[in-house]
Structure 1
Amino acid sequence: MKAGYLYGIAVLLIVLAICAGCTDTGGTETPAPTTAPETTAMPTTEAPMTIVETAAADGRFTTLVAAVDAAGLTDTLNGPGPFTVFAPTDDAFAALPNGTIAALLEDPEGLLTEVLTFHVVSGRYMAADVVNLDAAPTVQGANLTITVEDGDVMVDGARVVVTDIEASNGVIHVIDAVMLPPTCHLTVGTSEGAPDHQHVWCEGAAETLPFCNDMGACHTHPIDEGGNMAEAAGAGPHTHDLT
């Protein structure tokens, strides 16, 4: 009897000893995750846009972008460069004599290309560089004349209104007028009796570019450079001084 009692005590002590290493937190066991935790991908940075892509995305240069495309210069200005582009706004193109843009588009590989490449300089010239220049050679071949007047930077008579729009292959500076190559000019005034209007004329050409009124009627002038006048033509006889 005593032996059985002692045996029972021994078994109880063994059970208590085993359970002494056990803890009870009173909570529920959290199951191990069955899938790997989600990870957040690092944001990707888009590659900088080219000059043409930047101009197209800007919204102020729809005429310029269309003209570049018409002249077949898009691939060039999307190329490695670098280029500095003095970019006329849509308002600048609209300020040209009526009919000028249409006439330029009719000669995409000639006069249009001449005008557009006159706005492009090889190399990347930021505003801080431009103000230290007196002139810059263009892709067209002629030089741009650069001056600072009353705090404004003037490039061949056009005012720089926004600077340093950077692209992957160069930089854009915004100007408020379309610049004409040195061989092309605006006529000055008209003779008495004709409404005020201007034509674009280029040295060596047989006639001026057309001027079109609001009704769409257009006229040109044959050029008499010897007499320094564009001869009478159009709905009413008149002449233009070519100086």
Structure 2
Amino acid sequence: MTFVQLIDCKTSRFDEMNQLMDTWAERTKGKRTATHNVVAKDRSDASHFIEIVEFPSYEEAMRNSNLPETDTIFREMVALCDEMPTFTDLEVVRDEQLYAGNARRFFETVATEGELPPLNDLLTEDYHDHDPGNVTDTIGLDAMRRQIEMYRSGFDIGFTIDDQITEGDRVCTRWTFKGDHNGDFMGIPASGIQVTMTGATIFRFQEDGKIVEGWWHEDRLGLMAQLGALDQLES
């Protein structure tokens, strides 16, 4: 779970404090576990600053705190403050930017060339997938991998993200799928033609950014028409 620490301090020596933060970043290069860092200045009090530091988890934050470089920088920071800084430790319970980014990363990962990555950093083990094109829901990470592999074995997959809307723990992504039909797909032998399919997917996320549930709405009928499957049915 993402962890955020707020460092609240007052100082009349901000330029020196800013240089100290640069020194900290340089000394801990390759060791520091923070993923994002923001320094904000109080508009009503020029001596009041808050540093916001984000970590992948509390454990990573503690690993960062235990670095000898961090201890040295902390003592130097206290010396620059007008009073003792205060620390607020926060567990992130919702991060819409993270959710939207992971939704995009899912489509990028599915289109990866070569072997399909494990996906366990994107989907929960009990992931639940809803797709009206399937007879039953797809439940579980392994089952979802098999579903994805069905498309990957039939097409050279590429996705374009056309639009994305985030609200709460859900992200809706409107996408365009393009692929060359170079392998067997649902019993249809490779034709070499390029197909296009549009659709939208709603993903529900848990707090750590993993996808728990998905709802797909795609033009699979149009895809099958491009592959000539509907002509075979009519004949």
The structure in which a higher percent of residues are strand is 2
Smaller-chain TM-score range? under 0.3
TM-score, structure 1 length as denominator? 0.24
Computing the radius of gyration from Cα coordinates, the structure with the larger value is: 1
Larger % of helix: which?
A: 2
TM-score, normalised relative to structure 2: 0.25
